[in-house]
Homo-oligomer: A and B are copies of this chain.
Amino acid sequence: MNSSKRSEQFPTADHDHQTCVTHALQEAEDFCLQQGLRLTELRHRVLELIWANHQPVGAYDLLEQLTHEGRKAAPPTIYRSLDFLLENGLIHRITSLNAYVGCNHPGLNHAAQFFICEACGQAAELDDAKIESVIARDAKRLGFTVEKRTVEVAGICAHCKLRPNP
């Protein structure tokens, strides 16, 4: 399985789920070590849960998963970890879903675009330079300084078009 290729499309139902998670966690550990960031046990576990869900997942869903495994956790517990992971580019927030998803290219300070399937809940992360350049051109015309981009496309993925009820 080619992970970097997979990241540019919707995952198939038969792909090796656990390998994705393991790989992402390993990348995060390496990245944090390199950057001198403290990927504490809690942050590590939250990131692992996000990847294990394997699709955008809400903060309170994560919170419930934490408490179900015996950990004392309240909303700030989860939001602090999410903030850390967001700030350091290990996850993305999907604004239109109020949900969080693992980043496929951690470390790079990149602008991502998301294609979100309304049937199966999966999201594909793209990094299309063309979209960026068109936005940059519009911004230039407006005299606008870009800080943050949100590009989220909702619809139906190829797998779900074939399979009416995923």
Question: Which positions in A face B, CB cutoff 8 Å?
Answer: 9-10, 95-96, 113, 115, 117-118, 124, 126, 128, 130-131, 134-135, 137-139, 142-158, 161
Central interface residue in A142, A152, A154, A158, by most chain B CB within 10 Å? A142
> Quick check: B128 and A138 within 8 Å, CB to CB?
yes
> Quick check: B150 and A155 within 8 Å, CB to CB?
no
Q: Which residues of B contact A135 (CB under 8 A)?
A: 113, 131, 151, 153
Q: Which residues of B contact A139 (CB under 8 A)?
A: 115, 153, 155
> Quick check: B96 and A113 within 8 Å, CB to CB?
no
What 4 A-B pairs have minimum CB-CB distances, sorted nearest first?
A143-B158, A147-B155, A150-B152, A148-B154
Q: How far is the CA of A126 from the CA of B135 in the complex (A)?
A: 11
Q: Which residues of B contact A95 (CB under 8 A)?
A: 95-96, 150, 152
Task: Give 10 new A-B contacts, CB below 8 A, not counting A131-B134, A131-B135, A147-B155.
Answer: A96-B150, A130-B134, A131-B138, A139-B155, A142-B157, A143-B161, A144-B157, A146-B153, A148-B153, A149-B154
| Whole-angstrom distance between the Cβ of A27 and the nearest chain B Cβ | 24
A144 and B130 in contact, given A150-B95, A151-B151 (Cβ under 8 angstroms): no
Q: How far is the CA of A28 from the CA of B157 in the complex (A)?
A: 35
Closest to A152 in B: B150
Q: How far is the CA of A142 from the CA of B137 in the complex (A)?
A: 25
